[in-house]
A and B are shown apart, each in its own frame.
Chain A
């Protein structure tokens, strides 16, 4: 079962409208993934020109968010979908919120990247890069799960989320227990914020995958 199978079906009006919304959701997902990648490049490869792009694209993400929410509400009230279609629409409405949050965090990461350039690179950067990579893979998996309508993905991504969480704990410990800091503490605060953001992004990716499971099975777990 894939999203297209579900949406094209016998081609009635609800399905046609849902299909259009689904396209926008996928588009927004692709854009958010891109923002995440840009923030990664800004943070770990010093490509700071990405940051202005992120800020610009984030506005686009917000626009998609509002538009999708509006259209979902219109479909819900005017066409009264039932069963799986209802689940798709309600999952979309929540899922775009998660995507929008990830976009916001990507923007914050970009700003952190700019401020971090003033300081020498911290030894825990490679770990942070690994964490960011993992969170990106989680988001990619969640998006694949959405287009495949893979009900099992939620559990798989939860496993990945556990590894991101443990990376977060580890990084937090290294950062918090540092002694004899020379100069200002700003870089450490920034890094702690960045790890926190990445952890939140991974959480939102997990949420997306779980909403996909909800579309397929109808259970919230």
Chain B
């Protein structure tokens, strides 16, 4: 009997222990896995059932959500592509297939991105994004017709191959994947071009009547009395300014569109250009007692149009003189930098002691007709609002870059970076130039 009771007690204890453990495990599931605090009033099994049900609902909901997102991405007006770590294209939307002319896309079998889109630039963007893990952008021309020519084209007619202007935004993802968004900028380019053409046509039309007006007003000058002369001179000045504006505008347009026809490239020496530019502004500078601080270390030979490069420095110095207090200083520093690949560049800094640019204006100073705050506008002498944009166009046409900043100490700081060609090339172009001269 005692043994029986002992056995029963042992069994009970064992059972109780098991039961406690099960209870704890259920608690654990409820609390940690399902995230519900257990209620004492209800037995735990139904509670868990309820929890699982609600989880299932959430899962269905999430699945639906993912489907919706997929649908949305597929119908995005932007192209979307995703590339995995092995450079295979694993996802793309409708717009991407249209823009890049991917007509061999099969979502069940991933292929190398380069098999489907043969664009070296885009591939480089992907590699760089993966390497740097940074968001990058790329603007490039793409020829969709050439991307997948399977049949046709054997006939005599060759298809019209026209480029699309695309912009790609890359985005690094986990595990070496890269996502790309692609925007079609062809229309934008077209619009910009048309706008430019409109302005240039308008300037062209304005030029002839302006010239005659100038001549007429000058003729009239000798036929009027003293009082009339005063007004006529003012008129003359204004017409001159307008004519200058039109001329500059046309010049910018020319430089932008056919730099090779406009520029007369020769070998020029930087020091000479800077000195002669300063020389032509010396009278203005002396009025305000502004001095040039330029100590050249070596002769720097550039390939460029000496007349236009002189204009660059005249415009920049003129600006600086305008904004410097009397007794100010303009500092110019030029040096040659050699890059790893052996590319040489010349860096020119022009720093004045004036008030500097208004920080809000900095992104716009090279825009046409942009006039900043009154302080940097035209108070005493007229400016066309085209000076700096001409400077920029000339530098860009020479293959260089220009930036405007404020110097940490004081004043405006313009930096110009121009490529320096190798000596061999200089000779070549000199020969070309010579031949050109002979022909003419």
Contacts and interface: CB of A to CB of B under 8 A. Distances in A.
Contacts of A29: 118
Contact residues of A: prevailing secondary structure: helix
Contact of A34 (B110, B115, B120, B258): B120
Interface residues of A, number: 39
Contact of A2 (B115, B123, B161): B115
A6 to B, nearest CB: 11
Interface in B256-282: 258-260
A196 to B, nearest CB: 20
A147 B158 contact: no
Contact of B149 (A115, A137, A183): A137
A33 interface: yes
A27 B114 contact: yes
Given A26-B114, A156-B154, A159-B154, A118 B436 contact: yes
Nearest to A34: B120
A26 to B, nearest CB: 4
Interface stretch (A78-86, A87-95, A128-136, A169-177): A128-136
A67 interface: no
Nearest to A40: B161
Given A46-B260, A49-B399, A144 B432 contact: no
Interface of B: 86-88, 104, 109-112, 114-116, 118-121, 123, 143, 146-151, 153-154, 156, 158-159, 161, 258-260, 399, 432, 435-436, 439
A75 interface: no
Contact residues of B: prevailing secondary structure: loop
Nearest to A147: B115
B432 A118 contact: yes
Contacts of B86: 19
A66 interface: no
Given A118-B436, A159-B154, A27 B111 contact: no
A114 B435 CA distance: 13
Residue in A23, A114, A134, A159 with the greatest tally of chain B CB atoms within 10 Å: A23
B104 A148 contact: yes
B158 A133 contact: yes
Contacts of A37: 143
B118 A30 contact: yes
Contacts of A148: 104, 115, 150
A195 to B, nearest CB: 16
A54 B194 CA distance: 29
B161 A136 contact: yes
A160 B114 contact: no
Given A26-B112, A48-B260, A140-B149, 14 more contacts: A4-B115, A5-B109, A26-B114, A30-B119, A31-B120, A37-B143, A52-B399, A117-B260, A118-B432, A118-B435, A133-B161, A147-B118, A148-B104, A183-B439
Nearest to B428: A114
Given A4-B109, A5-B109, A117-B260, A30 B143 contact: no
A96 to B, nearest CB: 15
Contacts of A34: 120-121
A118 to B, nearest CB: 6
A141 B120 contact: no
A188 interface: no
B121 A4 contact: no
A143 interface: yes
A17 to B, nearest CB: 13
A191 interface: no
